Amino acid sequence: MKLSEIGEFGFIERFAHRFEDLITPPAMGIGDDCAIFPANELYDYVFTTDMLVEDIHFIRSKISPFNLGHKALTVNISDIAAMGAKPVGSFLSIAIPANVEVEYLDELMEGYHQLSQRFHIPLMGGDTTRSPEKLIINISVIGRIGKNQSRLRSMACAGDIIAVTGFLGDSATGLKVLLENHKTSWLTDYFVQCHNRPNAAVEEGIWLGEQNGVHAMMDISDGIASDLKHILKASGKAAIIETDKLPISGQLIEYAEAKRLNIIQLATSGGEDYQLLVTIKDSEFDSIANAFKKRFNKPLYPIGQIEEGKPQISYFNNGEPTSEPGSGFNHFV
């Protein structure tokens, strides 16, 4: 059997259960954006780790070292945000090829430092080693949250409104621009910036985690077509997504029309938006959305609803059933 036949999560499922008896509740391990460790009567700690491999997660010639350092930390603190937690420390391990200059690493660490400074996240340690060919960056981040307040993938309830915190598809368009060498313009610069220097919704995640009507939450790294399925599987629920309600930037609408791009596929399956995907109790959605807009000066976008049923997504466009636009990113396919 090849890994491409079962994918990343199929591989994880083959071994995760073997370690369940080694976890002492209320600690939680594999299966959510972060692992959870109880700290004391007031707090829990959440832990995440992520790896970026050259030519898989980034192309060194198409991203500045500053932006690479910034993005590498962003993708990790985004997981912390998805739990509703505050990031409090990071660890960096990096495998470095011989052809990487010290000045390149200085700039990479400056990008890492500036984002760390913004959220007051100290670099606590890590490891460095030599790589035979590719640059590899592995980061772990620790977060802190009130006791039993983590927002888990398993918390979605039938009737919940499914919402996202920002535009979808801009990052995927940026990757398309880079890979296909689109002619440079102010629009392509915008998309490349979205892809190479994303922003984690840290403040939004902490705020949403404090709202009683907020149930499940995770960050959008592989696209909602993939990420929402993780919530559905963990919660034992189904969902409908209304593609006409997906939040699309004016820039993407303009560029997709000129280039004849499939906006819905980019928005659902492109990934690396690092917005938050959240389910909210129906009766409380309006008040939470209004407070969110007042607090962050931007909408909380409703895109569908959680339903009873098998863990699958049904897509609708203007009230009519439509085909699945894509499956989301999979490392091994």
C-alpha distance from residue 75 to each of 1, 69, 253, 275 (Å):
31, 11, 26, 11
Q: Average pLDDT of 294-305?
A: 98
Could you tell me if 157 and 88 lie in one domain? no
User: Residue 193 class from Cβ within 10 Å (0-12 exposed, 13-18 middle, 19+ buried)?
Assistant: middle
Give 23's contacts (C-beta < 8 A, 6+ positions apart).
29
pLDDT digits (tens, 9 = 90+) for 231-249: 999 999 999 999 999 999 9
Residues 79, 189 within the same domain: no
Residue 133, domain member (yes or no): yes
Pick from 102, 128, 146: which residue ends a domain? 146
Q: Is residue 332 part of a domain?
A: no
In a domain, 333, yes or no: no
The domain of 229 spans 153-322
On whether the pTM is more than 0.85, the answer is yes
Pair 284, 138 in one domain: no
| CA 319 distance to own-chain centroid | 28
Residue where the block lists tokens 């820039």: 251
Percent of the chain at pLDDT exceeding 70: 98
327 assigned to some structural domain: no
Same domain? 181 vs 301: yes
Contact residues for 138 (Cβ-Cβ < 8 A; gap 6+) = 49, 50, 51, 52, 92, 93, 94
Distance, CA of 110 to CA of 262 (rounded, Å): 36
Indicate whether 22 and 7 sit together in one domain.
yes
Q: Does 281 lie in the same domain as 244?
A: yes
Last residue of a domain, one of 99, 124, 146: 146
Taking only the tens place, the pLDDT of each residue in 260-279 is 999 999 999 999 999 999 99
Structural domain ending residue among the three candidates 146, 181, 196: 146
Question: What span, in angstroms and rounded, lies between the C-alpha atoms of 222 and 330?
Answer: 8
**Of 21-30, 112-121, 170-179, 279-288, the least confident:** 21-30
